[in-house]
Structure 1
Amino acid sequence: MGTMSLGTLLAIVVPLVVVAILIAAAALLLVRRRHLRERFGPEYERTVEGADSRLAGERELRTREKRHDSLDIRPLQSSVRDRYSRDWTNVQGEFVDRPEDAVHDADRLVTSLMRECGYPTEGFEQQLEDLSVEHGRTLEHYRAAHDIEALSTRHKATTEQLRGAMVHYRALFDELLSDGGQARHARA
């Protein structure tokens, strides 16, 4: 009774190997999930909730990372950052007398800054996706500002909403301006 048959040995070893592979796959999935949560912040939950499944949402986020890696996000020269800061100060000063115009100008200035940093600006949804990779924590500000800007285009935004839009635009503007000092790419 000293030796095990090959069949018995395989019956023990094969399930152990399968279990080890499943554990390794689950660990990899958890590491990837943590990476996406840390990278995208609140945008992680928003994307996953809007997808058919958690895996589909995570696949979408990884697709965004790959696209972002292909972009030429470049650092801004200090003179360019200074110019944008002055332009923002001018837009903010315009708010007192012409709040709707100031909000439209703030939208254009943020879009211009995005372009200057190397982000494509060919549509709001694509802008959100591209920005989400590095700026997921300020995207809600950008969405809110954009919604108010759309209201103001139809002259349906209150002064308080317009003031809020300026604050929201400023959050993304400041982050882009400060992050514009370094070129950043996805960390695989």
Structure 2
Amino acid sequence: MSTVLIVVALIVLVAVMGAALYFWRSRSRGLGGPALQRRFGPEYDLTVARHGGDTEAAERELAGRVERFGHLRSRPLVPETRARYAERWEALQKRFVDAPREAVTEAGELLAGLAQERGFPAATAYEDQDQAAALSVHHPENVDAYRRIRRAARPEGAGTSTEELRTALLEARGLFDELITEGRRGHRAHRRHDDRAAAHGDRHLPRARHSLKPKGSGI
């Protein structure tokens, strides 16, 4: 066997051993298939779909996210900061009536800034992969709503309908609530407060003035 073939064989062997070690470490830390499904919920299925049904590739990506961002711990918000974000969200909801795209753009920027304030990686105007990946580890139920509202605000999302923008804003509220509260207990309390609130909350977000939906068609 030539020297070149020996070198190639060694490289392949090292790569196979490295992959095997990675999977062994991931599974030993509870990052294997069932554990990943439990941890990521709908995000697991979405990642498998993005990989064309390749479960192994999807699980490698998800395990990698846990390795990179699982150690993150949310920084607390002081009451003044929490109040400021809450006021901004209420204001942009009202702004949606006359300027839906601008309101959605502001909502995406607000979520990105709030996530950074809580200790997640920073996001620029159009590059938020690390922030989304980190959010998926800690807020898997709502991270796809974050992606959708960020996409809707980008230039390539200019064709998004008013109703789609409205839906994106409504769904993004779930992540906003999780980020602005200190934990699941606070989140549930916050939602109970919203349920008792007057009809100016996000569940009654009015349609944009130029929406084509007829009056009385419901939310």
Asked whether the two chains share a fold, i.e. TM above 0.5, the reply is: yes
Give the aligned partner of residue 88 of structure 1.
89
The alignment yields a C-alpha RMSD, in angstroms, of 2.8
Distance 1:177 1:158, change over 3 A: same
Give the aligned partner of residue 128 of structure 1.
132
The one-letter code matched in structure 2 to 1:43 is: E
Give the aligned partner of residue 15 of structure 1.
none
Give the aligned partner of residue 80 of structure 2.
79
Identity %: 36
Query: Cα deviations across residues 44-83 of structure 1 (Å, max 9, x unaligned)?
Result: 1222344484333222212111211344532222332222
Distance 1:166 1:152, change over 3 A: farther
Tell me if 1:55 matches 2:56.
yes
| Structure 1 unaligned blocks of 5 or more | 1-24, 183-188
Distance 1:86 1:66, change over 3 A: same
Cα distance in 2, alignment partners of residues 119 and 178 from structure 1 = 15
With normalisation by structure 2, the TM-score equals 0.60
3-state secondary structure, aligned to 1:56: helix
Tell me if 1:173 matches 2:176.
yes
The one-letter code matched in structure 2 to 1:111 is: A
Which structure: greater helix fraction? 1
| Structure 2 unaligned blocks of 5 or more | 1-23, 186-219
Give the aligned partner of residue 197 of structure 2.
none
Cα distance in 2, alignment partners of residues 85 and 145 from structure 1 = 18
Higher relative contact order (CA 8 A, sep 6+): 1
Give 1 or 2 for the bigger CA radius of gyration.
1
